[in-house]
């Protein structure tokens, strides 16, 4: 079956694709396919791409790399000189810009994995939260280097991505303890460090990640466990650099947390927020493609060549 841009966008909207790194790759593929379809149909590529980018960013408003990928691809199409380009030239430009961002994203991801693996040592007990391809890559690299360590992982409700993470870690031969989210305070004291991913890094060094990350950070603070967040500079939020507020994704499906035995839900409000913000001062450091950095240093990368304004 041929994959279409619409199918990929719906997969992202339906949360069938997990992890900011993979979602960013699929975002770029969707933009490329949408440009090709518009060129073939003789419709406006700029309008088609703008509409696709709006849907992708609305589906994952908390993931800066999605916004950054869309902004980078669309940036030249918002310039006056693009009006003189043919549909074929515009499509080729989209392909080239998508590949440029994809290459930069891949290289940055590899570097984060290399840097992060150095933070893992023999006999470490690492407390983690949720599924993230970045952490999985770090742990895989650390195991390949012969390091022996174990992980304490939360279920990461409401969608329990932590169970998926544990399944992948066990395949790598990494011993795991799986706990419910509410047990974080009882178990974090058994760890000697905490490690989470990041869906966005804000200009003040705060980190947007799966809901419950803030709770892990508070527990680590109480027990004196150093907490690290891993993510490339391409996850730096341009919105936050411009003084804006990053929206936290909320899902309408509340079956995982709403009481099922209440026939009359009048007076009940269910909030199913998927991400939260953890202040930068709770992190020992940020593990990035530019090295292990203090959270306050992140704003210094505002002029990164891959970070384009959205408009």
165 pLDDT exceeds 80?
yes
pLDDT in tens, 113-154: 999 999 999 999 999 999 999 999 999 999 999 999 999 999
Tell me if 56 sits within 8 A of 243, measured CB to CB.
Answer: no
Residue boundaries of the structural domains of the chain: 5-111, 114-254+269-301
Q: What is the mean pLDDT of residues 14-41?
A: 90
Token pair for 235? 């996850």
Looking at the structure, give the CATH architecture of the domain made up of residues 5-111: Up-down Bundle (1.20)
Q: pTM above the 0.85 mark?
A: yes
pLDDT at 1: 53
Please compute, for residue 171, the number of CA atoms within 13 A of its CA located in the half-sphere on the CB side: 9
Contact criterion met (CB below 8 Å) for 131 and 156? yes
The verdict on whether 199 is a catalytic residue reads yes
Q: What per-residue confidence (pLDDT) applies to 55?
A: 95
The catalytic residue among 40, 106, 122, 199 is: 199
pLDDT confidence of residue 311? 58
Q: pLDDT tens for residues 240-281? A: 998 888 888 887 755 566 666 777 777 878 888 889 999 999
Does 114-254+269-301 match 5-111 at the fold level? no
What pLDDT does residue 64 have? 95
The torsion defined by the Cα of 190, 194, 197 and 199, in degrees rounded to 10, comes to 100
Q: What is the CATH number of domain 114-254+269-301?
A: 3.40.50.10470
- For position 310, what pLDDT does the model report? 67
The pLDDT mean for the chain works out to: 92
Q: What percent of the chain has pLDDT over 90?
A: 74
């Amino acid at each position: 079956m041929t994959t279409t841009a619409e199918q990929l966008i719906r997969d992202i909207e339906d949360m069938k694709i997990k992890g900011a790194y993979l979602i960013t790759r699929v975002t770029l593929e969707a933009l490329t396919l949408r440009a090709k379809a518009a060129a073939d149909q003789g419709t406006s590529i700029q309008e088609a791409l703008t509409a696709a980018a709006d849907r992708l960013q609305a589906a994952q408003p908390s993931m800066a790399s999605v916004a950054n990928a869309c902004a980078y691809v669309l940036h030249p199409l918002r310039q006056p000189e693009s009006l003189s380009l043919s549909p074929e030239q515009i499509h080729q430009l989209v392909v080239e810009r998508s590949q440029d961002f994809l290459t930069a994203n891949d290289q940055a991801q590899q570097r984060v994995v290399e840097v992060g693996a150095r933070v893992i040592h023999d006999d470490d007990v690492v407390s983690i939260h949720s599924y993230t391809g970045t952490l999985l890559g770090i742990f895989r690299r650390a195991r390949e280097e012969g390091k022996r360590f174990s992980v304490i992982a939360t279920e990461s409700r409401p969608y329990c991505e932590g169970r998926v993470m544990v399944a992948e870690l066990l395949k790598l031969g990494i011993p795991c303890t799986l706990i419910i989210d509410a047990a974080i305070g009882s178990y974090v004291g058994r760890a000697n460090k905490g490690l989470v991913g990041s869906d966005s890094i804000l200009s003040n060094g705060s980190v947007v990640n799966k809901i419950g990350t803030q709770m892990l950070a508070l527990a680590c603070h109480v027990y004196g466990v150093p907490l690290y967040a891993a993510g490339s500079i391409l996850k730096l939020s341009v919105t936050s650099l411009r003084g804006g507020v990053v929206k936290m994704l909320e899902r309408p499906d509340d079956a995982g947390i709403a009481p099922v035995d209440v026939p009359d839900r009048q007076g009940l409000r269910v909030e199913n927020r998927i991400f939260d913000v953890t202040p930068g001062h709770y992190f020992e450091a940020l593990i990035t493609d530019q090295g292990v950095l203090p959270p306050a240093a992140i704003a210094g990368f505002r002029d990164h060549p891959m970070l384009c304004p959205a408009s």
